[in-house]
Chains A and B, each alone.
Chain A
């Protein structure tokens, strides 16, 4: 049966690989849009502060809680003004910077450390595994918010410290998932075949086990992204997170909360941004899982047929 799916001709150069990835992205329209959205958000995050910082921080008490969808005060106020009369649109764009920095920093470091420890815990002997797993249990059993409060109180609130604290609380999730998968994958025949060929531990972990585990990790990481954005806002709400004049979407949501009765847009727009980012990431990770798996890839290459 496997013979039915004939392979496409060899792709050796990196350029043709890139273009085939692009065409696979084009196949999945949702993922394609998601990629564009994410690209836009990243551009905002990179360029926003330098271009719009002035506009985003200038207060104008006459424009307090200015309602959205009106061009009376210029395009910057199309999404309304906040409680100090600053344009929402500009603030959203500027806030993308810290938000993405914290969320991406946290998720990446948690994933790398968690997956690394998980691989070791799953692959190595019982004692090392036990030690690592009990460490994870300690982190998990400690109330994460309390841990964050204590650490940030001692170290002082700053973006790097927040990344550190949030990452520590997220590590066990990656660790446990990775370990569970490794325990299964290491028993598979191709790992045995690699041992018979004489492959060392590192080679087996990195070349044979990690690629099989990676899709799961990527999926968890994208789900985690939204969670971290909100966790950061609750820290900011407690006053130990991001400090004004720095802003993040999470901070904007919590600052807009008291005005929900009178000016819904203060909390709504940043909330929407969080949702859009999380959704785009999920759709893209879904595509990536298929595109990176040689056995699934045909779904993105085959022409569509409808004959059910």
Chain B
């Protein structure tokens, strides 16, 4: 290994909170050499972002406090230099890209201007900035670069926005690029493209890449070395292959075992009675057809997965079935009655029977209500469970059922991690004893091991309570473990449907095949093999 470019030594960071001091990272050591890719693998709350944020001087102090350690870059300790010196380094020598490119682009300026600002802010002339911006926008593969310079962030897709963020980060030819979950918000096919773009750019510029991720597949695809973090400590470090094949620490073993897509594929039970049947649903927004003649059937106790990338209409399908959107035409029979044309009073009854779990629990839980209030709200609405102590007991029981503890009842949503929040959302859905739960990307925002737990939870609920699931996802691995039947959607149409085994083993439609191919395998060797096949084909 060549000489380290950036070294983090014995870094410990505490967070001072209402509940006392939390040791966010403890004695963390890592270093990165030029041209190397280091992945920091960990789940949310593991402290994987903290050391990177310390490098970028992004920690808010207080509540954070750097207890000990040093971060060496070009012979200087980044923890000791002034904010002014930090600003001169940030962007120029060390650049960062984030998970959510839309949140980090200013909506009122053109992207060209924002990318140029990276250089003009560091005192370079605008003409040079413009030339460089154009070069990079072309390089990251945005179509019609000249025109793209004058467009605004909302006019680009998620993947394109991340490409633009990468272009912005590379403006000043940084030595190190820190990428914090760069592809987590992207579709699988787009994710594969962005990762290969990052790799190419790294080869061209020789920069070091620090990749913070929770996804073993991403590590397998791109990383040379990996450090695995769990609750603030590095539990394992080594090359990506070593760590995958010979994980020494129990946590790493658990993480690898939790990777989805390895379980048995379920067999379809044809005998179950029909619960939901949608016929030729159509929905257009202006010119854009979000749903084109979509039909589906779902039997009691079964789970139907709807897979597709963003913009495929899968969420619109869920929203239409729930009457959050009005379908332009078509019918959807819930136990024989048409949901689409149902009046408000009948609909209220059906609302109790069909619950939904949203993608982002941070937003789907009212920030001003306690967990107890959130879960009990459904009973208020449907005038159930009037007895207060009974209610409390049931809330505690539900919390236990989803793997939370009773003392959580009086906390607020922001005090929980993402996975716990999603459990709260599931408990809220269960409170009304529904027959169908529609999960709109319900696990895609969660960590792998949490994802596995939530899926296992949903599966056990299905078996114990006989609840049916309409499971909307972009992640094929998750679907493979959970679904009985799979529907693949693309641009508002169903391109393929069938039992899970058939879709995974003998996909017919080229789009399904492409989706399956873009899905990253957690095994670095498998990924390397695939890359060879792809580059030869």
Contact = CB atoms under 8 A, between A and B. Distances in A.
Interface in A178-207: 188-190, 192-200, 203, 207
Interface string A1-22: 1111111111110000000000
Contact of B18 (A10, A195, A298): A298
Interface in B358-377: 358, 360, 363-370, 377
B416 interface: yes
Contacts of A194: 366, 377
Given A7-B410, A8-B19, A307 B61 contact: yes
A184 B412 CA distance: 22
Interface stretch (B242-250, B348-356, B504-512): B348-356
Interface string B369-393: 1100000011011100000000000
A195 B18 CA distance: 34
B19 A6 contact: yes
A154 interface: no
Given A305-B16, A307-B62, A1 B378 contact: no
A302 B63 contact: yes
A155 interface: no
B364 A302 contact: no
Given A3-B420, A305-B65, A198 B411 contact: no
Contacts of A134: none
A188 B367 CA distance: 11
Contact of A293 (B352, B356, B368): B368
Interface string A270-308: 000000000000000000000001110010011101111
A176 B81 CA distance: 47
Contacts of A198: 347-348, 351-352, 378, 381-382
Nearest to A199: B381
A211 interface: yes
A51 B202 CA distance: 82
B371 to A, nearest CB: 10
Contacts of B382: 198
A188 B366 CA distance: 9
Contacts of A307: 61-62, 65
> Could you say which interface size class chain B belongs to?
35 or more
Given A212-B368, A298-B18, A2 B63 contact: no
A64 interface: no
B45 interface: yes
Nearest to B20: A6
Contact of B17 (A5, A11, A195): A5
A6 B420 CA distance: 13
A192 B348 CA distance: 14
Interface in B429-464: 432
Contacts of B469: none
B412 A294 contact: yes
Contact of A306 (B62, B347, B381, B410): B62
Interface in A18-36: none
Contacts of B155: none
Nearest to A12: B410
B157 interface: no
Contacts of B354: 196
B368 A211 contact: yes
Nearest to B23: A4
B322 interface: yes
Contacts of A189: 358, 360, 363-364
B358 A295 contact: no
Contacts of A190: 363-367
A257 interface: no
Contacts, number: 129
B482 interface: no
Given A192-B358, A197-B355, A4 B22 contact: yes
> Could you say which interface size class chain A belongs to?
35 or more
A8 B324 contact: no
Contacts of B367: 190, 212, 293-295
A298 B412 CA distance: 12
A32 B24 CA distance: 34
A84 to B, nearest CB: 53
A203 B381 contact: yes
Prevailing SS type, chain B contact patch = mixed
A257 B333 CA distance: 77
Contacts of A11: 410
B64 to A, nearest CB: 9
A57 B249 CA distance: 86
A9 B407 contact: yes
B414 interface: yes
B59 to A, nearest CB: 11
B417 interface: yes
Given A4-B15, A5-B19, A302-B17, A192 B414 contact: no
B409 interface: yes
Contact of B409 (A8, A10, A298, A305): A10
Contacts of B365: 190, 193
Nearest to A302: B18
Given A3-B416, A294-B414, A298-B18, A193 B24 contact: no
Contacts of B415: 2-3, 5-7
Contacts of A208: 366
Interface string B43-68: 01100000000000000011101000
Nearest to B406: A10
Contacts of B16: 302-303, 305
Could you say which of B354, B410, B415 has the most chain A C-beta atoms within 10 Å of its C-beta? B415
Contacts of B369: 207
Contacts of A193: 356, 358, 364-365, 425, 428
Contacts of A9: 407, 410
B312 to A, nearest CB: 20
Interface string A80-91: 000000000000
A294 B65 contact: no
A195 B324 contact: yes
Contacts of B377: 194, 197, 199, 207
Contacts of A295: 367, 412, 414
A298 B348 contact: no
Contact of A7 (B351, B355, B360, B411): B411
Contacts of B366: 190, 194, 207-208, 211
A18 B200 CA distance: 61
A7 B413 CA distance: 11
A195 B355 CA distance: 10
Interface string A207-246: 1100110000000000000000000000000000000000
27 contacts: A1-B44, A2-B415, A3-B415, A3-B417, A4-B17, A4-B19, A6-B415, A8-B18, A11-B410, A190-B363, A193-B364, A196-B351, A196-B354, A196-B355, A197-B351, A197-B377, A198-B351, A198-B378, A199-B381, A207-B377, A211-B366, A211-B368, A294-B367, A294-B412, A298-B18, A303-B16, A307-B62
Given A9-B410, A12-B410, A298-B18, 15 more contacts: A2-B416, A2-B418, A4-B17, A4-B45, A189-B360, A190-B365, A197-B381, A198-B351, A198-B382, A203-B381, A207-B366, A212-B367, A302-B16, A305-B16, A306-B62
Interface of B: 15-20, 22, 24, 44-45, 61-63, 65, 322, 324, 347-348, 351-352, 354-356, 358, 360, 363-370, 377-378, 380-382, 407-412, 414-418, 420-421, 425, 428, 432
3 nearest A-B residue pairs (beta carbon): A6-B19, A198-B351, A189-B363
